[in-house]
Structure 1
Amino acid sequence: MTKTLVLVATAALAGLAFPAFARDRYAEPPPVQVSPHLSASRLLQLSRKPGQHVSRHSAGVTLVARPAKTAVVRAPEPGQARSEMNPIYLPQPVAYDGGEPAGTIIIDTRENFLYLVEGDGLARRYGVGTGKPGFEWAGTHTVTRKAEWPDWRPPSEMISRERARGRVLPAHVPGGPDNPLGARALYLGSTLYRIHGTNQPWTIGGAVSSGCIRMRNEDVVELYERVPVGARVVVR
């Protein structure tokens, strides 16, 4: 009798251990691996589609899918590579009736989406990373400058803030694949904020930045080609 109970318990544990780990690891929809390299395929792995639903957004956009909540994304552990991103943040067309003219960029910092209004009731939607708690902002600006593979000079406030946390930032990082600003940058008004690429694509969809709007390199290159200097940008 005792031997039978031990065998039953062992079988039950063997059947539950790994599924439970998978549920804890991926929580909501399983991640999609997206290459940070411009020459690679956009979608390398998609296990299943996330749950679909339709809702009316405050910006006048009909969403066909959205995350349950905005997350603060943590960096990977030292030595651990990451390239996962929820597939709902991949570019896609959506219906739009918010009243902004074609060519306007609308950034929803609550849901972490950027919309490029296309006209005829449509917009192009991209996933973005936005300001982490304490760095949120809203306003209307224009694109005053565009740059390919921009260099990065961290502002003095950021250098001081990170030094207090034990992290020393360089005074200057030249443009290239290792630059935090990624492949392209669109500068907003006279502010220090930009819409830019990233060398950390797994952070898209989270509250992760010091106020800048972060996109995958593939997506910011596409936006860069479609948006001229002078375009209106609405951050909400």
Structure 2
Amino acid sequence: MIFDSIRSKSSYTIRINTSSRILTLYKSGIPIKKYGVAVGKPSTPTPKGKFYIINKIINPGGPFGARWLGLNIRGYGIHGTNNPSSIGKSISNGCIRMFNRDVIELSKMVPIGTPVDII
């Protein structure tokens, strides 16, 4: 499958801990950066599991801030926010929110196919 070959070329992985609200970026298995994030509220929790980035959108508009990194679970992604005070809280509809400066930085580093482990 083409997607598997794209995925295998990424030396980056992302782990999102919904309890601590921390996204950790790894390169070749070594943590290189940590970001505070917002996660889903109790009524719309962030899904847990192993996913992959399937698309990247610059300036998606609306509440999605400066970047969108879509996951291979319909309707969910890692994105910026037009509400920076939400970072560090359980407040989203299930997506992972980041400060716009952080999601821009992350988006520049990780390719489509990057594994995302949400715990």
Same fold (TM over 0.5): yes
Structure 2: runs of 5+ lacking an equivalent: 1-9
The alignment yields a C-alpha RMSD, in angstroms, of 1.5
The answer to whether structure 1 residue 210 and structure 2 residue 93 are counterparts is yes
For residue 221 of structure 1, give the secondary structure of its aligned residue in structure 2: helix
Alignment of 1:41-190 (within 5 A): 102-119=11-28, 121-136=30-45, 137-150=47-60, 175=61, 179-190=62-73
Percent identity for Structure 1 against Structure 2: 42
Q: TM-score, normalised by structure 2?
A: 0.86
How many Å apart are 1:106 and its aligned residue?
A: 0.4
How many Å apart are 1:127 and its aligned residue?
A: 0.4
For residue 105 of structure 2, give the secondary structure of its aligned residue in structure 1: helix
How many Å apart are 1:119 and its aligned residue?
A: 3.7
For residue 52 of structure 2, give the secondary structure of its aligned residue in structure 1: strand
Q: Once superposed, which parts of structure 1, at least 4 consecutive aligned residues long, lie more than 6 Å away?
A: none
Counting matched residue pairs gives: 109
For residue 68 of structure 2, give the secondary structure of its aligned residue in structure 1: strand
The equivalent of 1:199 in structure 2 is 82
Q: TM-score, normalised by structure 1?
A: 0.44
CA deviation vs aligned residue, 1:169-189 (integer Å, no higher than 9, x gap): xxxxxx2xxx20000000000
For residues 110 and 43 of structure 2, the distance between their equivalents in structure 1, rounded to whole angstroms, comes to 29
Pair 103,132 (structure 1): closer, same or farther in 2 beyond 3 Å: same
Q: Which has the higher contact order (CA 8 A, sep 6+)?
A: 2
Structure 1: runs of 5+ lacking an equivalent: 1-100, 151-174
Larger-gyration structure (1/2): 1
For residue 107 of structure 2, give the secondary structure of its aligned residue in structure 1: helix
How many Å apart are 1:112 and its aligned residue?
A: 0.3
